[in-house]
Amino acid sequence: MKLLFDFLPVILFFGMFKYAEGRADWAASVATDWLGFMVSGGVVGAKEAPVLLATVVVILATAAQILWLKARRRKVDKMLWVSLVLVTVMGGATIWFHNETFIKWKPSVLYWVMGASFWISHAVFRKNLLQALMGTQVDLPATVWQRLNFAWIAFFGLMGLLNIYVAYSYSTATWVNFKMFGALGLMLLFMVGQGIYLSRHLKNEEQA
């Protein structure tokens, strides 16, 4: 359930883009009427309308996540705050300049911020961030925690590069499909692989 909650803005972004992509003239009309005051020149064309509407949806969805957590008096993860700032700033630039390049960079920047937070925690503060997040649930040797931490750093770094590659090498529609299925699929595969690696060490600990 939490996984669905975390990925909800991405799902809504994808849904709005696909809906608007198939109704380009309608999307341009709606974007011009509702977003004209936020757009340079005040008019949105049919080509950029789908991504602009999807960008508005993802900004609102991310803000709604935080408001929902606050209303239920739950902790808001720092990365969710970072995501809100990035999607608001870069999404706002996408809307104002009619240019999807800004929103396309947002996932890469977020990946790299997350990877940097894992690396800085280890290199500067001598703290394993992954262990701090999961240490109360799983008991593992320090060397295993270190490997997992570096694995996440490498994964986030590579995902940021892959997102940029797809964004600049293919159409916006292809990038949206990658963001929905490719990026999320790779994330799930990585988490499954991590689970398999963890289960092997947990068995060894139980046997010991």
Which DSSP symbol is given to 37?
Answer: G
Domain range for 95: 1-99
Q: What is the model's pLDDT at position 137? A: 67
Same domain as 201, residue 109: yes
Q: What is the model's pLDDT at position 1? A: 65
Among the candidates 36, 65, 99, a domain finishes at 99
Tokens standing for residue 22: 């198939």
Same domain as 141, residue 82: no
Same domain as 108, residue 94: no
Same domain as 54, residue 17: yes
Other Cβ atoms less than 10 A from the Cβ of 175: the count is 23
Same domain as 108, residue 127: yes
Answer yes or no: are the C-beta atoms of 80 and 9 closer than 8 Å: no
- DSSP secondary structure of 72-141: TT-PPPHHHHHHHHHHHHHHHHHHHHT-THHHHHHHHHHHHHHHHHHHHHHHTT---HHHHHHTTT----
185/188 Cα distance (integer angstroms)? 5
158/153 Cα distance (integer angstroms)? 9
Q: What is the model's pLDDT at position 2? A: 72
Q: What is the model's pLDDT at position 203? A: 52
Same domain as 48, residue 114: no
What's the number of domains the chain is made of?
Answer: 2
Q: What is the model's pLDDT at position 202? A: 65
Nearest Cα to Cα of residue 62 among 7, 3, 2:
7
Among the candidates 73, 99, 125, a domain finishes at 99
Cα of 202 vs its chain's centroid, Å: 30
Residue numbers of the chain with a pLDDT score lower than 70: 1, 135-138, 201-208
Those residues whose C-beta lies under 8 Å from the C-beta of residue 39, and which sit 6 or more positions away, are: 31, 32, 52, 95, 96, 98
Q: What is the model's pLDDT at position 135? A: 58
